[in-house]
């Protein structure tokens, strides 16, 4: 990863993190659909990124969001889980011929259908872990599933909108 890309990703983490904690923190559509737009940063890291830095960075981002949410550990736990699943899921859904070195898992490069297959299960896994921990002991499994499902849909829709509006067709490499 060269220096310019590093700057781009740091900028992405910062902006989406700020949007998450300042604007989206208290938004819940119909009381059940939350938005975790900061996951878009973890989702849009390069496909060839090594496991260990990915896990560490995701844990760090999760912890940073946690500090603002006062839910210390919950976002970190779920984001690390997402980062752990990501390489395996990428391998499963890889196109014929595999990814090349500079492929970004974004709509502009892979198309919207691929992005949906890529992001929906990963974000759902995140939401499931997050709401399981959040509702632990309150005994509402149905509530967890309900919140996870609608939060996933909301998050992915917003992630698509953000990509279409703000991601350049070819990010400067």
> Which residues of the shown chain bind another protein in the complex (CB under 8 A)?
21-22, 25-26, 28, 31, 34, 51-52, 55-56, 59, 62, 66-74, 76-77, 80-81, 84, 133-138, 140
The least CB distance from residue 171 to another protein, in Å, is: 26
- Using the minimum distance from each CB to another protein, give the nearer residue, 33 or 156: 33
The least CB distance from residue 64 to another protein, in Å, is: 9
The least CB distance from residue 16 to another protein, in Å, is: 15
**Token reading at 5:** 């890309």
**Token reading at 173:** 């490499």
Residue 78 in contact with residue 123, Cβ under 8 Å?
no
Residue 126 in contact with residue 39, Cβ under 8 Å?
yes
The least CB distance from residue 170 to another protein, in Å, is: 30
Which of the 8 DSSP states describes residue 96? T
Q: 69 CB contacts (<8 Å, ≥6 apart)?
A: 21, 25, 75
The least CB distance from residue 14 to another protein, in Å, is: 12
- Using the minimum distance from each CB to another protein, give the nearer residue, 6 or 67: 67
Concatenate the DSSP letters of all residues of 98-160 into one string: ---TT---SHHHH-HHHHHHHHHHHHHHHHHHHHHHHTTTT--HHHHHHHHHHHHHHHHHHHH
């Amino acid at each position: 990863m060269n220096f310019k890309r590093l700057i781009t990703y740091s900028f992405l983490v910062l902006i989406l993190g700020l949007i998450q904690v300042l604007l989206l923190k208290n938004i819940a559509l119909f009381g059940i659909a939350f938005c975790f737009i900061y996951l878009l940063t973890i989702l849009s890291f390069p496909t060839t990124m090594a496991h260990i830095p990915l896990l560490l960075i995701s844990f760090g981002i999760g912890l940073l969001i946690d500090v603002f949410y006062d839910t210390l550990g919950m976002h970190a736990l779920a984001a690390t889980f997402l980062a752990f699943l990501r390489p395996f899921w990428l391998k499963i859904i890889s196109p014929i011929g595999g990814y090349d070195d500079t492929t970004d898992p974004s709509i502009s490069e892979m198309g919207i259908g691929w992005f949906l297959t890529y992001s929906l299960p990963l974000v759902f896994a995140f939401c499931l872990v997050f709401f399981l921990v959040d509702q632990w002991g309150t005994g509402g499994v149905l509530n967890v599933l309900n919140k996870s499902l609608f939060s996933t849909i909301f998050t992915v829709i917003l992630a698509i909108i953000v990509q279409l509006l703000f991601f350049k067709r070819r990010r400067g490499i």
